[in-house]
Amino acid sequence: MSSILIVDDEPENFDVIEVLLNDQDYSLHYSASGQEALSFLNAIKPDLILLDVMMPGLDGIEVCQRIKAMPQWEGVPIIMVTALTNKTDLAQCLSAGADDFISKPVNRLELKARVRSMLRIHEQYQQLAHFNANLEAKVKQRTAQLQSMIFRDSLTKLPSRTFLLQKLVEQCQFEPRSFAILSLDCDQFKLVNGSFGHEVGNQLLIAIADRLQQHLRSGDVLARLGEDEFGFLLQQIETKEALESFIQDILHSFHTPFSIANCDIFMTVSIGVALDNGKSQLPEAFLQDADTAMYQAKLRGKGSYQIFDSQMHLAMVTRLNLENDLQRALENQEFVLYYQPIIHLQTQKCAGFEALVRWQHPERGMIAPIEFIPCLEATGLIVNVDLFVLKQACEQLQTWQQKGWTDLSMSVNLSVRQFGSQTLLADIDRILAETQIQPSHLKLEITESAIMENAEMAIHLTEKLRSRQIQISIDDFGTGYSSLSYLHRFPVDNLKIDRSFVKEIQDHNRNYHVVNTILALSQQLNLSVIAEGIETPQQQQWLQTLGCEFGQGYLFSKPLPAAEIEKQYLNR
């Protein structure tokens, strides 16, 4: 039932209106003055006000203005009841906030129509207000959710990178300042993801976050910075010794494996540290310095740490210059291929070659892969270089086959990025079509790391490659995360024993037994084995004794340009 407040200083006018509206389902209330009407509002909560204009004390114009100035009543429609007919007076009513007016004497039909119209408008206003209130509540809720997403990581529930940066801004405003930023990266986390799946990977990240929180001091911040990266903001560093003790405690805590999905997973972290230097520096710059130190720590080996210094900045500048040079090298075709023979150990005959890339720098001369391959991989340029190597190697094999050397194979390395390329199969098909070499003469070498990064994808891709008669070799075998447990799942043809096992091979030592196990397993799976890094006759003898069929290394030949290969091997 709609509530209507009638404000008029003459009671008989109320009676008239009451009679005119008596057949309607309204709750009518009467107020004899403007002041009284204002005091009745909260009690009556009117849906409509019929307001006389000419009243003693507060007249209708002023009452209307006051009501419309109240936020809780500004939406209640007001119909001015007046004997005034002058347009100026009526305009004054509308200016005061009135929604409509009706002339005296009041006409019954007109009154009913205007009342119904205003009540309908009020109902719509209330619905709109209710809708807006709900919308505002949802916006606030969503805003809170977005802020939570921005400032908190959904998986680990740790603060986010954005939150850490905000706290770092606040920290930089304090004097005196003595803080440190630690950047932690989980070593070989992608390998775990590929071996056990993303669900186990997520559980591992949660467990790592929980373990790191055990080291959190009061006032410090621990945040998740990226997929497998975490960061500490240590707000007060008393001494360098205290900082190093804190870091060693973290590293030591990772000696205990993580029990995930009934598996014990060993994990290490590399830590980079950036200390406050008192200089005006953007928060992102501190994090960047910590990241730079972290990457330097990785170069030292798993489970180590490094504190940022100015020399690292110089190294970073050198790295940027190297990236620029590599980009130009690709454009200027400065990369060249060398070929290392793969020898049949029993017959000493050359069975094929491995194509290896070198960089002919215009100023520095020939540069070894160890200096530029990591940079190519980090920048993604490795994909284009891999494609160049594959094409050049196939073209060289075509040339040799046309010269009559038709029984040779060509081994080409694929990087992790290239192996995951969406266009890899199409690129290989195109190159094989252009060079007209038999696919069975091409061997693609893939590291265990590349395979284990996405095991299911790797199985699918290797099956596609083998369906083309292309041979698949696992490079650096024995150095990966779970070699033996996954080997039977992958459709491969060859294993290349890593040089680290060959180097120290002796009668019945650890490496001897590892190589023996690999060879026995390969025989059961009908796989060929190639030993890398053979440098001495003794190493060759041990490998032959164990039954290794093929080998390569400096004992036979270092990598050579194509012309030298022809002289030393193919023209003999």
Mean pLDDT of 486-508: 83
Distances (CA, A) of 214 to 218, 222, 267, 282, 570: 11, 10, 17, 29, 64
Rg (CA), the chain: 41
pLDDT of residue 453: 74
- The secondary structure of 311-372 as a DSSP string is HHHHHHHHHHHHHHHHHHHHHTT-EEEEEEEEEETTT--EEEEEEEEEEEETTTEEE-HHHH
Query: For residues 443 and 449, which has the higher predicted lDDT (pLDDT)?
Result: 443
Residue 277 has pLDDT above 80, yes or no: no
Average of per-residue pLDDT across 256-273: 92
pLDDT at 353: 97
Q: Is the pLDDT of residue 239 over 80?
A: yes
Q: Tell me the pLDDT band of 351, cut-offs 50, 70 and 90.
A: very high
Q: What is the mean pLDDT of residues 552-562?
A: 95
Nearest to 174 by CA among 233, 230, 100, 99: 233
Name the token pair of 119: 């009540």
Q: Is 286:168 a contact under the CB 8 Å cutoff?
A: yes
pLDDT value of position 163: 92
Structure tokens at 258: 């993580």
DSSP secondary structure of 448-460: HHHHHHTHHHHHH
Mean pLDDT computed over 57-68: 91
pTM, rounded to two decimals:
0.57
User: Within 10 A of 344 (CB to CB), how many other CB atoms are there?
Assistant: 13
How would you list the strands of the sheet with 180-186, edge to edge? 221-224, 229-234, 180-186, 269-275, 305-307
| Nearest CA among 277, 316, 294 for reference residue 183 | 294
Residue 100 · residue 79 · CB < 8 Å: yes
Asked whether residue 220 carries a pLDDT value surpassing 70, the answer given is: yes
Compute the average pLDDT of residues 512-532. 90
Average pLDDT for residues 287-316, to the nearest whole number?
Answer: 88
> Does residue 348 register a pLDDT over 80?
yes
Pairwise pLDDT comparison (178 vs 279), residue with the higher score: 178
Mean pLDDT of 130-146: 86
Q: Which amino acid type is present at position 229?
A: E
| Residue partners of 396: CB distance under 8 A and separation at least 6 | 337, 339, 355, 410, 562
| pLDDT value for 108 | 84
Buried/exposed code over 323-336 (b: 16+ C-beta within 10 A; e: otherwise): bebbeebeeeebbe
Specify whether the CB–CB gap between 408 and 339 falls below 8 A: no
**Could you read off the pLDDT of 14-27 as tens digits, one per residue?**
888 888 887 778 88
What pLDDT score does 484 carry?
A: 58
Query: Can you list the domains of the chain with their CATH numbers?
Result: 2-129 (3.40.50.2300), 161-308 (3.30.70.270), 320-570 (3.20.20.450)
User: Locate tokens 């029993």: which residue?
Assistant: 346
Q: What is the pLDDT of residue 514?
A: 86
The pLDDT value recorded for residue 15 is 84
| Contact indicator for 213, 222 with CB cutoff of 8 Å | yes
- Mean pLDDT, rounded, for 479-501: 76
Cβ contacts of 236 within 8 Å, gap of 6 or more: 178, 179, 219
Contact 449, 479 (CB under 8 A): no
Tokens found for residue 228: 């497998």
The beta-strand segments (E) located in 78-123 are 78-82, 100-103
Q: How confident is the model at residue 483 (pLDDT cuts 50, 70, 90)?
A: low
> In 3-state terms, what secondary structure has residue 158?
coil
> Could you give the CA distance from residue 421 to residue 504 in angstroms, rounded to a whole number?
36
Encoded tokens for 423? 């266009």
With cut-offs at 50, 70 and 90, classify the pLDDT of residue 174.
confident
CB atoms within 10 A of CB 526: 7
Query: What's the mean per-residue pLDDT of the chain?
Result: 89
Distance CA 154, CA 447 (A): 33
Predicted local distance difference test score (pLDDT) of residue 91: 85
Side-chain-facing half-sphere of 416: CA atoms under 13 Å: 18
Cα 198 versus chain centre, distance = 14
Q: Identify the weakest region by mean pLDDT among 13-17, 253-257, 324-328.
A: 13-17
45 in Cβ contact with 5 (< 8 Å): no
Burial environment of residue 402 by CB neighbours within 10 A (0 to 12, 13 to 18, 19 or more): exposed
Residue 554 token pair: 């400096």
Q: How far apart are CA 485 and CA 489, in angstroms?
A: 9
Confidence of residue 188 (pLDDT cuts 50, 70, 90): confident
Q: State the average pLDDT over residues 228-232.
A: 96
pLDDT at 489: 74
Which range has the worst mean pLDDT, 157-166, 184-193, 225-234? Answer: 184-193
Q: Which tens digit of pLDDT belongs to each residue from 332-346?
A: 999 999 999 999 999
Q: Which of these, 437, 330, 350, 352, lies nearest to 394 by C-alpha position? A: 437
Q: In 3D, which of 389, 385, 386, 393 has the Cα closest to residue 330?
A: 385
Helix (H) or strand (E) holding 520, with range, is helix 510-524
Q: What is the mean pLDDT of residues 238-244?
A: 89
CA distance 268 to 476: 21
- Of all residues in the chain, the percent with pLDDT exceeding 90 is 50
Average pLDDT over residues 229-245: 91
Beta bridge partners of 231: 183, 223
3 state DSSP class of 89: helix
- State how far the alpha carbon of 472 is from the alpha carbons of 385, 439, 440, 466, 554, in Å: 20, 11, 10, 7, 24
At residue 481, the pLDDT reads: 53
Residue 92: per-residue pLDDT: 86
pLDDT digits 0-9 by tens, 373-416: 988 988 889 999 999 999 999 999 999 999 999 999 999 999 98
Q: Grade residue 287 by pLDDT with cuts at 50, 70 and 90.
A: very high
Q: Is the pLDDT assigned to residue 89 strictly greater than 80?
A: no
- Judge contact between 117 and 139, C-beta under 8 A: no
